[in-house]
Amino acid sequence: MIWNQTEFNNKVAAVAKKLKIKSFEAQLLLAQERFLARLASIEDGHGFVWKGGSLLLRTYMPEETTRFTVDIDLLAKGISVESSEAIFKKAMTLDLEDGFAFENLIKSFMERDTPYGGERYEMDWSFFKKTGAPNNNSMKLKLDVCAGDDVDEEVVAATTLFLATEGTENLSFRIYPPEFIFAEKLETAVRFKSGNSRFKDFIDLWVLSENIKNTKKLRAAVDRCFKRRGTPYDTVQIVALLSDKAHIQQLEQYGRKHYERLKLPSVATLLKSVTDLIKKI
């Protein structure tokens, strides 16, 4: 596969229009995919399972409510979290003849997202030597890696996942099924209770609640996630958290500040959809 500047600009414009996001955001989404293509092209890269908002954006997010995210979330499974740095560096050296280059990998420790921690990485990227970060509004490519989750991952072709599928015909990824993404985000919300002001988690839970139909599979995923993370599961307490007026007001303020452009229902309606699904399991 060989891209040129014109093709890249056309892809950026098409993705930005489709998802109703800014051009520099669409640029980053394509850079994410080109790095993931490098990971999927090396044997060591198969030790990661893709999850989180960057996956949801490409699978279940309605175009009118697409929540742009700068992070790629990965679970290290069958490999150690500590090996991520060496694997990423190896992937960065791979030339897929797509004009992209990745450099300046920086590592830091991740504390909040899971009870067992992880590592956070960021790197610069460029397309035909045109800098993608930190130039103007462009952003660095960011990856969060954790371990420990108990997940039955699925293997899905990159052509099904990517926004730009050219050159990915022979690539596939291990990904979290929607039930396990829901379980993970619900556990995070319960663990932090009303202190969780991350409105993005509740957007994702709402999107998933509108798409998940297999409640038996969902309950099994929830039970496994909560047990693995040592968080008690109590339907009554969860429903109370999702209907707490002060928490709803807090989320409404955060939503107006950061997600006003999205065509979302009210927070109360959004959380009711999540609550209705939880009551079914």
Q: What's the number of domains the chain is made of?
A: 2
Q: What pTM does this model have? A: 0.89
pLDDT tens by residue, 125-155: 998 777 665 454 458 999 999 988 899 999 9
Residues 79 and 152 in one domain: yes
Contact 85, 107 (CB under 8 A): yes
pLDDT tens by residue, 201-216: 899 999 999 999 999 9
Instruction: In whole angstroms, give the CA distance from residue 2 to residue 115.
Output: 42
Q: Which domain holds residue 245?
A: 179-280
Residues 187 and 121 in one domain: no
Which residue, 236, 119, 141, 238, is CA-closest to 182?
A: 238
Residues 168 and 185 in one domain: no
Contact 146, 131 (CB under 8 A): no
Two structure tokens written together for 58: 């490409």
Buried b (16+ CB within 10 A) or exposed e, 193-213: eeebebbbbbbbbbbbbeebe
Residues 101 and 191 in one domain: no
Residues 22 and 149 in one domain: yes
